[in-house]
Amino acid sequence: MGYSALKIIKEGLFGQRGWKPVWRDPEPKSEYDVIVIGGGGHGLSTAYYLAKEHGITNVAVLEKGYIGGGNVGRNTTIVRANYMLPGNSEFYSHSLKLWENMEQDLNYNTMMSQRGVMMLCHSDGQRDMFARRGNAMVNQGDDAELLTPEQVRAEAPMIDFDNVRFPIYGGLMHRRGGTARHDAVAWGYARGADQRGVDIIQNCEVTGIDIEGGVVKGVQTTRGAIRTKKVAIVVAGRSSLVGAMAGLRLPIESHVLQAFVSEGLKPLMPGVISFGMGHFYISQSDKGGLVFGGDIDFYKSYAARGNLPMKEHVMEAAMTLMPSIAKAKVLRSWGGVMDMSPDGSPIIDKTDTQGLFLNCGWCYGGFKAVPGSGFSYAHLIATGTHHAPAARFLMNRFRSGAVLMDEEGTGSQHNLH
Amino acid sequence: MRLNCPICGERDRREFYYKGDAVELDRPDPNAGSEAWDDYLHNRDNPAGETRDLWHHESGCGAWLVVTRNTLTHEVLRCELAGANTQ
């Protein structure tokens, strides 16, 4: 399907009746080369890169709900590569490069906008820490600028520079970071995968994984049994439940993360601002709504909705950072179910079962990883070897203690990230 | 969410600190081996449904509680003193 200004005008005149679905709605076949469980951003990009990079097109993506209905449609749309530790650093660097070429690659407008991600610091120690992180980012080949308070003021004059508890000591600017249209990312990858022959099967919940003699044979679903030699689990907050179907007990806890959107306002925000001391980050969508979020609710949950204490905390952080938005009304909030790992970093790995692969542990940072995760996961599924930028996302790191990627420095322990 | 502290009665969630899964009450023997300790420290059942957590009534009586609740509905089913589980 082609999109053009002319087409939009024509459809507007004739009641928008001429648009066609951009991916098929096929019945599941009896057998596939690869079955991807989970039609979220990561699952769709996995299928897309299996087809595009490795020529594996006899692939099914099984989604229990609908495309775009999970976390890929309920996040704060932030894209960045400002990680510090080996393992994470090269992975997110690779993922950001894929973001930068995504629209050309998919021929689809994902509204990728590199409007910058600025983290704020409030003490000498934190500024030193930002200098170290910035150097790590530059060494990785990405961009980072340490900003003075005056430079922060020039970027973001609307924030409170005189807060007694959190005075602005500077910022770390990552100009290649920004935001993207989250739904379009899902739709673009779905369309791209479908065009290459991948079957995207919605309303198809996996109820069992067939394993014989340590080898994957297929899956049971609400739409019948499907045979395959390779099963790729990538189901975010449901990882423990789907993993259990294959006898896996995972280092994952599911927690709820809330996010919020205000009513539409005139342009106010220069890009993404991250107020880490308040566990708060904010940007402005192209429609004008402020999109912001905070920390997880800090108790296990599959409810996809949060409680009031964290809502209060986020609103208080917003008021601490930018009292000017006090009268803006919050239009809506939502919660997503996060697959929290002990060290806050993900897993892309094989399992002890032949043909069974696992991709999980993205915590609250899965959106920016959508292209990189799918690319590296597809590489692992197709070749059996780890893709270099994701080679440290191994499951056994928790047991061995080697190459833990604990960006926050809080320890490899549940409920600290 | 409100938790029914056996000592203080029903109180707002804001009074409580969440420690984590109640698996922490089942600490392995120091010589149990790396596999048992890895499992205890990292791996979790993570059920969608009934689960047991450790909460600390930090802004109340200071008691440690084992709270049984539903992760799908946030319904709180039982609140017991953690000491009763370990003694």
3-state DSSP assignment of residue A367: helix
pLDDT of residue A405: 87
Residues of A within 8 A of B13 (CB-CB) are 307, 309
Question: Mean pLDDT, to the nearest integer, of A324-332?
Answer: 95
Distances (CA, A) of A379 to A104, A199, A357, A373: 21, 19, 11, 10
Of B14, B51, B74, the CB nearest to A309: B14
> Whole-structure pTM over 0.90, yes or no?
yes
- Quick one: DSSP state of residue A284? E
pLDDT of residue A107: 94
CA separation for the pair A137, A285 (Å, rounded): 26
Report whether pLDDT(A265) > 80. yes
By CB neighbour count within 10 A (0-12 exposed, 13-18 middle, 19+ buried), where does A286 fall? exposed
Are residues A254 and B20, on separate chains, in Cβ contact within 8 Å?
A: no
pLDDT of residue B86: 53
- Quick one: DSSP state of residue A271? S
Report whether pLDDT(A60) > 50. yes
Report whether pLDDT(A271) > 80. yes
From A132's Cα to the closest Cα of chain B, the distance in A is 29
Percent of chain A with pLDDT over 70: 100
pLDDT of residue B87: 45
Is residue A358 within 8 Å of residue A221, measured between CB atoms? no
Task: Quickly state the pLDDT bin for A2 (edges 50, 70, 90).
Answer: confident
Q: What is the ipTM of this complex?
A: 0.94
CA separation for the pair A390, A298 (Å, rounded): 28
pLDDT digits (tens, 9 = 90+) for A73-131: 989 999 999 999 999 999 999 999 999 999 999 999 999 999 999 999 999 999 999 99
3-state DSSP assignment of residue A19: coil
Q: Chains A, B: CB contacts under 8 A, how many?
A: 67
Give domain B2-27+34-81's CATH superfamily. Folate-binding superfamily (3.30.2270.10)
Is residue A291 within 8 Å of residue A180, measured between CB atoms? no
From A71's Cα to the closest Cα of chain B, the distance in A is 16
CA-based end-to-end distance of chain B? 28
pLDDT digits (tens, 9 = 90+) for B73-83: 999 999 999 98
Residues of A within 8 A of B41 (CB-CB) are 342, 398, 412-413
pLDDT digits (tens, 9 = 90+) for B36-58: 999 999 999 999 999 999 999 99
Strand spans (E) along A124-223? 145-147, 170-174, 178-179, 199-201, 206-212, 215-221
pLDDT of residue A417: 67
**Closest Cα partner for A66 from A116, A25, A104?**
A25
Task: Quickly state the pLDDT bin for B8 (edges 50, 70, 90).
Answer: very high
CA separation for the pair A406, A412 (Å, rounded): 7
DSSP secondary structure string, B23-87?
GGGSPPPTTS-HHHHHHHHT-----SSEEEEEEE-TTTT--EEEEEEETTT--EEEEEEHHHHH-
pLDDT of residue A410: 83
Give the dihedral of Cα atoms A207, A210, A215, A218; nearest 10 deg: -80
Task: Look at the block and give the residue holding tokens 């070897």.
Answer: A385
Q: Which residues contact A138 (CB under 8 A, 6 or more apart)?
A: A144
Test mutation, A248, A255, A302, chain B, max B CBs within 10 A:
A302
**Where along chain B do its domains lie?**
2-27+34-81
pLDDT of residue A250: 97
Report whether pLDDT(A31) > 70. yes
